[in-house]
Chain A
């Protein structure tokens, strides 16, 4: 069965510095997709970045990049130049291998950006 593990319950980062949020996954399916979502206190899940298992390069979206290490089954999110508005809960998720599109989420990491 698919599983996502986020081992950092909480992280602090100084404004303007970079931070890495860890995510490891477990799957026996050779084709899979990995997603990162941000959840501010308002509750909405905001899509940040996607990495497909067959993608040759690490995904990047503005200040977000994904450090994808397939052999280690890790998909860490890197946020560069942290801003106060980055303070939120961050979830790593994996697409279920069936054709449902449903997501399996990790437990999340709370990020606090210090001024």
Chain B
């Protein structure tokens, strides 16, 4: 396990379609985060999991967005009825909490979504 992996790397979809992204964190990391990054901006927090429990969701996460981490390992982020405003890079990150409060988060390479 060499890092956080995300799939797919790129996704082009038509407006109104549903899309699902997958994130595989570093195996021993119990926390998993999703961020969204639009062009020229820094990443913005969407949601995070402690093991399989989703503990916080940003107001950015509308009802069309849902995230799961069913067995506390990989996570999925689904967007229903995509809109052009959903076009962005979706980044996943993981970190362990046992080693101390300020351990760094490790990021995947992201999924770039384009809604046409």
Contact = CB atoms under 8 A, between A and B. Distances in A.
Interface of A: 4, 33, 35, 37, 42-47, 50, 52, 91, 93, 95-96, 99-108
A44 B42 contact: no
Among all A-B residue pairs, the 7 with the closest Cβ atoms: A105-B42, A45-B107, A43-B110, A44-B109, A47-B104, A33-B102, A102-B45
Interface in B23-67: 31, 33, 35, 40-45, 48, 55-56
Interface string B77-100: 000000000000101010101000
Contacts, number: 64
Nearest to B46: A102
Given A33-B102, A101-B97, A106 B109 contact: no
A42 B109 contact: yes
Nearest to A110: B40
